[in-house]
Chain A
Amino acid sequence: MSLLISYDSSFDGFLSAVFEIYRQRLDVGDFLPERPYDAEASSTFDLFLQPFHVETVAESARRLRRAIVNMAGADVLDLLETAFRSEERGVEMKIFVYLRKLFAGDEPGFNRNPTSKEMLPLFLLARAVRHESGGMLGMVRFNKAPDGMYVAEIEPKYDILEMIVGHFRGRFPTGRWAIVDVMRCYGVFYDGKHTEYLEFADPDTISRTIAENAPPDEFTRMWKSYYDTMAIKERLNPRLLRRCLPVRYWKHLPERQQNLAGPANRSTNSLASRPA
């Protein structure tokens, strides 16, 4: 009977699992990440697979990382990690299949071929993750708290918070700010010198706390009204808007909120958000 390997949902955890698979010659059916915010998906089990838990071991993860770098190079390891961030169902199995073929070593040039059957899906997935993390650099919206701290909520499709932190550290090196991934219940806090990752218990409580402590202010309303004036009425194009700025991001963008607007601007907005 094949195994359903559960791990702690981190990349190191996944690498430890792969390490164990090789060490104990396990027969893998599928992987199961144990995500605290996604308890429902974590508790489902396949009737035909036997559950098997692997603990994260930093040492084995490190050894496997080194092996991948030696076999394929640092950029492939980076690509695998980026694809892993997509948290897509079945991505672990795709990475595992790739690694198995890589370590088997029976196809020359396999590590350098981005169009192989095993690599292409990972390549495209990594591209999608990088695309979102690049787009998110512009779509984080900070609200100012009375104590001078800037707080932002994000809800990206992929787990990209760690990929964007460096950009904001470089951009606002002297300020105090925090970015919270509401869906995944963790956030990063920067105090002017160091970043610190914090985990939260419940998404609703965080959202409420942020809304109470850092509500939209006069500048948010000015931004919203500026945004509304920028659209040229003769060129309104709701389909293009949706393609460039998918609806799933609107929730945390003040300029796409209805309730921030004054009565004069509402008509434009309702026209723009009418389904195509």
Chain B
Amino acid sequence: MRQICCDLRQKHELGCSIWKGAFFTRKYLHICALNIILVLKKASEQMDLKTKLNILGDAAKYDVSCSSSGSSRGAPKGGLGSGCSAGICHTWSADGRCISLLKVLFSNACKYDCAYCVNRRSNDVPRATFTPKELIDLTLEFYRRNYIEGLFLSSAVVGSPDATMEKLVYVAKELRTVHRFGGYIHLKAIPGASPRLLYEAGLYADRSSVNIEIPSDRALQYLAPEKNFKSIYSPMNFLAERKLEYHADRRMRSAPKFLPAGQSTQMIVGASGESDLQILRLSAGLYHKQQMKRVYFSGYVPVNADKRLPALTTKPPLLREHRLYQADWLMRFYNFGHEEILDESNPNLDPDLDPKAMWALRHPEFFPIDLQTADYEMILRVPGIGVKSAQLIVSGRRYCTIRMEQLKKMGVVLKRAKYFIYNPDIPANLRRLYPEMVRPMLIARPKPAQLDFFGQLDTPALPAPAIQALSAPAQLRPAG
């Protein structure tokens, strides 16, 4: 490929010199042009669809969003594809992340140079661009085999934001109108794209997203000089407003919807120095003001050597990401406010304890609660009781007393819950403990590991004999 590009450049230069010299005949020029076209054609043929798919899939894999939920729709007449409001996961990759959409970039030849991104223009990575037809065929063929739930189309910025967005919208429009495709379509909104294109994207896509990536404006401008919060928020706000407007005007049930599955965004955790409180506050704002359906967190995987970023050998902060997702769940399904989970005095989540247990230990005044009489909201706040078990408890307690055996069968984690609930089957002394005494019991003990035969011990069991041997002559020396 690179060979061909070089070839092409030489030919192009040749063509230029010919043009400048202007003493060749017009016929020769014509042949030159033909040659260039041939070489171009050869280049695009050489990179087959499989290679392109691998390059552009690989470039898109750091995008976390994969959900296919929030849109319910039957197959269009004469077409194929439906939307399932709960979303359907189709498979899980070796890192345990679900794959439900064909997540690819339209092109990875980016003009920006964001420090954290694998596709930045200063990186030496293979570049590829789909043609709309290739991408549409691929989506439909994968969909018919039930490999995917739909298409997640993003792109590096090629040329201008508008030119890029136009390509994405074209693919979505073609799928929806020509192929009568009813499956899920997630389109990235390119920051800086014109309102007309964004609006059109909303008409064809189920969900749209603009990634914040870095959770503070200052750090974002430092790491991605071409971006700032304003350029990211403006398409987000535009789409949120249009959605409200559109659905207020929508009279007919059968009228098409505008972004039925709403918007999502993503931020990288661990690339810049934000605290968990800052991240949660930002995501709570996005849920309320921008009406986000999901805010994703992505533990920073070092892909570029850059002095502005953590070193390449840094491990992705997977535990921190996990704790943030737990906190996110508390905000979305457990009626927690972000200020309840974290505050200025403890701005970071505890790596040893989940945020719900952390909250419960900080608020002993609410516990123990009686499952027989407590509010549903309060039962939800007990560590070890989830939404499903809480609902079961609430619907069952009208008819009988909930015993420990039933709790166990429901899937309540009694190991954690027993310190926080009042139940006749649980020893009373457990709920009289102070939070400081409960804390070590909630923390999972590390499993005893087999010692490595040739490994070094961190803390030696006995004082090393070498120290005595060294100190003995030192004592002797003055005497000698």
Residues of A within 8 A of B (CB): 109-110, 112-116, 120-121, 123-124, 134-135, 137-144, 150, 152, 167-168, 170-175, 218-223, 225-232, 234-241, 243-245, 253, 255-256, 268-269, 271-272
Query: Can you name 28 A-B pairs with beta carbons within 8 Å?
Result: A109-B398, A115-B392, A135-B89, A138-B146, A138-B149, A139-B91, A140-B146, A152-B146, A171-B82, A172-B144, A173-B80, A219-B141, A220-B145, A222-B50, A222-B138, A223-B147, A225-B54, A226-B53, A226-B54, A227-B91, A230-B57, A230-B93, A231-B61, A231-B94, A231-B97, A244-B98, A268-B94, A271-B94
- A226–B75 CB distance below 8 A: no
Contact of B399 among A110, A171, A222 (CB under 8 A): A110
Residues of A within 8 A of B400 (CB): 113, 115-116
For chain B, what secondary structure do more than half of its interface residues adopt (helix, strand, loop), or is it mixed?
Answer: loop
- Distance between Cα atoms of A168 and B81 in the complex (Å): 9
Chain B CB within 10 Å — which of A223, A226, A271 has the most? A226
- A113–B396 CB distance below 8 A: yes
Residues of A within 8 A of B395 (CB): 112-115
In the complex, whether B15 has a CB less than 8 A from a CB of chain A is: no
Kindly identify, within residues 438 to 478 of chain B, every residue whose CB is under 8 Å from any CB belonging to chain A. Answer: none
Kindly state the interface size class of chain B when it binds its partner: 35 or more
Residues of B within 8 A of A143 (CB): 145
- Could you say which of B1-9, B36-44, B402-410 contacts chain A? B402-410
In the complex, whether B49 has a CB less than 8 A from a CB of chain A is: yes
- Distance between Cα atoms of A116 and B299 in the complex (Å): 44
Closest to A233 in B: B95
The distance from the CB of A18 to the nearest CB of chain B, in whole angstroms, is 24
- Distance between Cα atoms of A172 and B409 in the complex (Å): 39
- Distance between Cα atoms of A244 and B147 in the complex (Å): 16
| Chain B 70-101 interface mask (CB, 8 Å, partner A; 1/0) | 00001100111110101011111111111110
For chain A, what secondary structure do more than half of its interface residues adopt (helix, strand, loop), or is it mixed?
Answer: helix
The distance from the CB of A194 to the nearest CB of chain B, in whole angstroms, is 17
In the complex, whether B347 has a CB less than 8 A from a CB of chain A is: no
- Distance between Cα atoms of A19 and B49 in the complex (Å): 61
- Distance between Cα atoms of A235 and B317 in the complex (Å): 10
Residues of B within 8 A of A135 (CB): 89
Residues of B within 8 A of A (CB): 49-50, 53-54, 57-58, 61-62, 74-75, 78-82, 84, 86, 88-100, 102-103, 138, 141-142, 144-147, 149, 299, 301, 315-316, 318, 392-393, 395-400, 402, 406, 409-411
- Distance between Cα atoms of A137 and B69 in the complex (Å): 14
Closest to A111 in B: B399
- A141–B146 CB distance below 8 A: yes
In the complex with contacts A115-B396, A173-B75, A241-B92, A232-B402 CB distance below 8 A: no
Contact of A234 among B50, B301, B410 (CB under 8 A): B301
- A174–B78 CB distance below 8 A: yes
Since A115-B397, A139-B90 are in contact, a sample of 14 more A-B pairs with Cβ atoms closer than 8 Å, ordered by chain A residue number, is A112-B399, A116-B400, A120-B409, A138-B90, A140-B146, A171-B75, A222-B49, A223-B142, A228-B94, A234-B301, A235-B316, A239-B96, A240-B92, A245-B92
